[in-house]
Amino acid sequence: MSRTTIVFLGQCHTYGYPGVPPEAAFPQVLRRAIEAYKPDTTLNVILEPYDHPSGLSRSVTRALRHRPRIVVVEVTGWLAVKGSGAVNLSRLPKTFHSTYDRVRHFRVASQFIAAKIPQGSKLIYRFQSKSFEAIASVLGPLIARYPRPTVEEYRACVSDAIQRIVQSPGTQVVIQGPGSPNLDLNFRGLAADAVERYKAVECMAREVATQHGTMYVDRWNAVNPDFFSPGSIRPTAEGHMEWGNLLARELLSNDVF
């Protein structure tokens, strides 16, 4: 029996949220698909969040401590879309950093416990969701005051992440581009050129992957009218199923496993 560690560097959608519990999020869909196709393989899924491109470097450092076989870098369009404000964790007060780190560690710990005690996962998920919502209501106004990164700044952070990961022997990088946006959104402050910004991020992700010779997973058209939760950028459980199975097919067809 072979055991393979895969680390996802991404946002909250890798963990689940109201309507999509952790076991229904696409990293766990991927795990089940790979283990079903290759019964001799056990996939150890680890999630390391980054909520702003400047945080990718810290996430890479944490990811490499697990000695992964694969690191999937999630490149998402939302980070460059909503208006002109954004999170820049490198410029936030130290008190915010400590709160953010506590949230990150709670996410990791609760995910670990849910995996070890399946019957407790729904309870943990409910508690986790309420806790994050409460924290977001307090920190959200503070976050909005900090400037959003440009696509080129995002490019530099992703490129640096790839370079650091490939220096780790035996570790393969996979870049996942963003899916096309939910065109039914009507959020206050949503940029008028949101689709163009999403596409710019998608092109950037593809170009960086090509530049470094790393695998790229195209998710732009992996959406449909029922893919998103109503009034949200978040995929439904069915959307996560589609993304997880897409990634599994791509990894298997590229002989990653």
Distance CA 199, CA 205 (A): 10
pLDDT value for 234: 86
- What are the φ and ψ backbone dihedral angles of 41, each rounded to 5 degrees? -115, 130
Pairing relationship of beta strands 2-10 and 41-49 according to DSSP bridges: parallel
97, two tokens: 């950093």
Q: Which residues pair with 8 in a beta bridge?
A: 47, 72
Q: What is the pLDDT of residues 141-172, one digit of tens each?
A: 444 444 567 888 899 999 999 999 999 999 99
Give the span between the Cα atoms of 189 and 204, in whole angstroms. Answer: 24
Q: Are 243 and 26 in contact (CB under 8 A)?
A: yes
Residues 6+ apart with CB under 8 A from 85: 144, 145, 146, 147, 148, 189
Alpha-carbon span 108 to 105, nearest angstrom: 5
pLDDT for residue 110: 53
What digits encode the pLDDT tens for the residues 14-49? 888 888 998 999 999 999 999 999 999 999 999 998
The pLDDT of residue 60 is: 96
| 193-212: pLDDT as tens digits | 777 888 999 999 999 999 99
Between 98 and 20, the higher pLDDT residue: 20
Averaged pLDDT of the chain: 79
Closest CA to 180 of 156, 197, 192: 197
CA–CA separation, 203 and 12 (whole Å): 23
Radius of gyration from C-alpha coordinates of the chain: 17
Cα 27 from chain centre? 9
Has residue 231 got a pLDDT over 70? yes
Task: For residues 244 and 235, give the distance between their C-alpha atoms in angstroms, rounded to a whole number.
Answer: 12
Whether the Cβ atoms of residue 246 and residue 177 lie closer than 8 Å to each other: no
Count other Cβ atoms within 10 Å, centred on residue 26. Answer: 29
Q: Which among 189, 236, 242, 194 is positioned nearest to 219, based on CA atoms? A: 242
- Order across the sheet with 70-74: list the strands: 41-49, 2-10, 70-74, 172-176, 215-217
pLDDT given for residue 138 in this prediction: 45
pTM of the model: 0.77
